[in-house]
Chain A
């Protein structure tokens, strides 16, 4: 790595990079603010863990889209179908290996989840590659056409799901070890939600490491800001575009698996149903920002949970309200990405 030595005298007066802490403090601040309104600490913990789990699942579904939009300037309304496709891909594994899910073995249960995730990511990555080549590539640079053709792609793929797996909702069962809840006194935390939090954190940490500690991450961050200059440095940005689109589709597939086991029912439209939330969090976070997407997801999910508990009739508009307030404060989102 290119490093230079600086002696103590040199570094003493060096300006320091400022970390933007305010958006990061929003999530704990919101949680603490909700505590006196909710009153009961055990209900507060339960709601908070549930909100964090929901936020992680939204993050998994949204993180790929924010990268695709940030790097490629593509508005992919078809992203939701990769969520649905990932969810249905679980059937490929659950069909022959259903017994692993019923077994009283944490190892077999987790292996089943791992296989579901792997198959879903592989399938959505492959379909994503075709989607990029056939549907997205001809409309680079035209947002209106992108909206139209990606919506078209979504409808065609949803109908393909109907044709392959049928139009009726399909129930699926959680692996045995992930059913039930951890009970600590009055606090109840569903096991699957805790599992979702762990998976979300692992994916977030992985993406942050990839973006900040690797050359490919440097390229993606530079490409989000100025793809033309990346090309002028000798890198083939088109290959990077395809790779990011495929990775974004695979992440949506992973989100789809987590969402499927959370709902325990599969429908072809399940991905499209969460797209409003997905768009809200990537706008709140700052288009192209993975960190912003993470904070935005947690924020939206926590607000939805708290408001749903305190004033259920307001739950539907709470997300829009959060987005409006954030955009009034920071019109480019919580972590604006420098744009060309």
Chain B
């Protein structure tokens, strides 16, 4: 495995009275795309939000490129180079598409080459550039949410279920966009329920169950092993094709 960019060691998270993460241990290598799979309620979203500091880990350690970010406030974690695309997308609907991007570029105007690259990935955004983002369709909002995360170079993208609720044609567009992001050298931790999309994109895979990492390995191994798929996920890739 290549150099580890993000490491979680025994991370526990409580939300109110509920104990959601029960000691998550995993490592995200630099470069490539790691998929986090698991049933509803397994703790995938909580893991991303805990990494981002939106919910504080009650114990354990989160290291990002050697830096302990377990107790760091969310803005500091973002400034360290982690971008987050939540499941809800959380785009600012009253702001225009342009304003959403401008706000995401903390250090100033977006570099024109980067802007061209982003709009090449998501051409629909150019069309709605000066419209309030609330006017976009679900798929376009997802594109904007991802474009906002890459408005500036980041070292790690956390993306929560980007294909959820999207039409098949839009899912294929999204898969192409993530392939392009991978090709550009981005490191991505992707939560995904759609095993077809996950298997098409993932280099590495983590499977969560009941707030723990139940499996960690190469995606190609999981794809090649229907028995393992059935055991970990209760399904097989064949069912998705």
- Taking Cβ atoms with an 8 Å cutoff, the residues of A that contact B are 1-4, 6, 10, 14-17, 215, 218-219, 221-222, 224-226, 228-237, 337-338
New A-B pairs, 14, CB < 8 Å, besides A2-B110, A16-B131: A2-B109, A3-B98, A4-B126, A15-B128, A17-B132, A218-B95, A221-B92, A228-B74, A231-B74, A232-B90, A233-B78, A234-B79, A234-B106, A237-B75
- Taking Cβ atoms with an 8 Å cutoff, the residues of B that contact A are 52, 54, 73-75, 78-79, 84, 86, 90, 92-96, 98-99, 101-106, 109-110, 115, 119, 126-132, 134-135, 148
Q: Is the CB of B131 within 8 A of A233?
A: no
Q: Is the CB of B90 within 8 A of A2?
A: no
Contacts A2-B98, A2-B109 given: A222-B127 contact, CB under 8 Å?
no
What is the bound-complex CA distance between A3 and B74, given in angstroms? 29
What is the bound-complex CA distance between A117 and B32, given in angstroms? 58
What is the bound-complex CA distance between A97 and B129, given in angstroms? 54
Q: Is the CB of A17 within 8 A of B135?
A: yes
Contacts A221-B94, A222-B95 given: A232-B103 contact, CB under 8 Å?
no
User: In the assembled complex, how far is the CB of residue A6 from the closest CB belonging to chain B, in whole angstroms?
Assistant: 7
User: In the assembled complex, how far is the CB of residue A38 from the closest CB belonging to chain B, in whole angstroms?
Assistant: 38
What is the bound-complex CA distance between A228 and B86, given in angstroms? 11
Q: Which residues of chain B come closer than 8 Å to A231, judged between CB atoms?
A: 54, 73-75, 78
User: In the assembled complex, how far is the CB of residue A290 from the closest CB belonging to chain B, in whole angstroms?
Assistant: 12
Contacts A15-B128, A17-B135 given: A338-B94 contact, CB under 8 Å?
yes
User: In the assembled complex, how far is the CB of residue B129 from the closest CB belonging to chain A, in whole angstroms?
Assistant: 6
Closest to A229 in B: B90
Q: Which residues of chain B come closer than 8 Å to A225, judged between CB atoms?
A: 92-95
Among candidates A17, A218, A224, A230, residue contacting B130 with C-beta atoms closer than 8 Å? A17
What is the bound-complex CA distance between A6 and B123, given in angstroms? 12
Closest to B127 in A: A14
Among candidates A10, A15, A218, A237, residue contacting B103 with C-beta atoms closer than 8 Å? A218
Those 5 A-B pairs whose CB atoms lie nearest each other, nearest first: A234-B78, A229-B90, A231-B74, A222-B92, A338-B93
Q: Is the CB of A4 within 8 A of B94?
A: no
Closest to A288 in B: B94
Among candidates A6, A15, A230, A235, residue contacting B131 with C-beta atoms closer than 8 Å? A15
Q: Which residues of chain A come closer than 8 Å to B128, judged between CB atoms?
A: 14-15
What is the bound-complex CA distance between A40 and B164, given in angstroms? 64
28 A-B pairs, CB-CB below 8 angstroms? Answer: A4-B119, A14-B127, A14-B128, A15-B127, A16-B131, A17-B131, A215-B102, A218-B102, A221-B94, A225-B93, A225-B94, A226-B90, A226-B92, A228-B90, A229-B90, A231-B54, A231-B73, A231-B74, A231-B75, A232-B54, A232-B74, A233-B104, A234-B75, A234-B106, A235-B75, A236-B73, A236-B75, A338-B134
